[in-house]
Amino acid sequence: MAPEVARDKASFMVQAKSLSLAVSLNTTTSLFMAQTVLRVFAAVSTLAAICVMATSSQTIVLFGFTIRAHYSYSSATRFLFVTDAIVCASSLLSLIFVYHLSRSGSNLKTCFYLFLHDMVITVLAISGCAAGTAVGYISRYGEEKMGWMAVCNRVKSFCNHMTISMVLSYVAFLSYLALAVMSSNKVMYEANGEYQRNERQACP
């Protein structure tokens, strides 16, 4: 009777380990898929934002003077342009890193580096969006107390293009915000797994 109970217990343990391994594998695969999709989404969004911003130009004649509106005339929109370019390039490069992790397996060190990358890009993306939003708000609504007049009522096409570019930039930021949350969860999961392995090795 005792040997049968022992065999049943051993069989149950093997099945439980197999099920746990299968669930862990499916979770890891889903995580890498989500990471890939979000990074591609961020890269495409910032690339589209760059293209829209670079082509946003409008020339008007006001009181006999020719006035041209272009993103490069504002330091804030130039900063947004540069941050979008960095986010786009980093997204494409990080795809290679994520693919390498999916093939070779992840550990605490590599997951932490990925989390650090995502946090830096998230902060960079929101700083560019904030700068562009500030100058965009003043351009559209003005600031009466400072004596700054709105200009979007005269260069509507330019402002509409810049608004589209801003929306695309915010989409990239939200993608990286989600990536940062996912990466932090992965770091905690790997840290917990490493702690449990060390505990098992320490037990006699």
List the structure tokens of 128. 């560019």
Select the more confidently predicted residue: 185 or 47: 47
List the structure tokens of 74. 């504002």
Mean pLDDT of the chain: 78
**Long-range contacts (CB closer than 8 Å, 24 or more residues apart) made by 128-132:** 128/79, 128/80, 128/82, 128/83, 128/84, 128/87, 128/169, 129/80, 129/166, 129/169, 129/170, 129/173, 131/76, 131/77, 131/79, 131/80, 132/76, 132/77, 132/79, 132/80, 132/162, 132/165, 132/166, 132/169
Give pLDDT, residue 185: 81
Give pLDDT, residue 18: 42
pLDDT over threshold 50, residue 23: no
pLDDT in tens, 131-144: 999 998 888 887 77
Give pLDDT, residue 86: 96
- Other beta carbons less than 10 A from residue 93's beta carbon: 13
- The answer to whether the CB of 32 falls within 8 A of the CB of 101 is yes
Give the H/E segment covering residue 61: strand 57-62
As a whole-number percent, the residues of the chain with pLDDT over 90 amount to 34
How confident is the model over 22-27, as a mean pLDDT? 46
Buried b (16+ CB within 10 A) or exposed e, 62-73: eeeeeeebbbee
pLDDT in tens, 98-124: 887 777 666 667 778 888 999 999 999
Give pLDDT, residue 12: 39
As a whole-number percent, the residues of the chain with pLDDT over 70 amount to 73
pLDDT over threshold 80, residue 7: no
pTM: 0.77
Per-residue confidence band for 129, with pLDDT thresholds at 50, 70 and 90: very high
pLDDT in tens, 43-82: 999 999 999 999 887 777 767 667 777 888 889 999 999 9
All structural domains of the chain: 28-200 (1.20.120)
Question: What does the alpha-carbon distance between residue 172 and residue 156 come to, in Å, rounded to a whole number?
Answer: 25
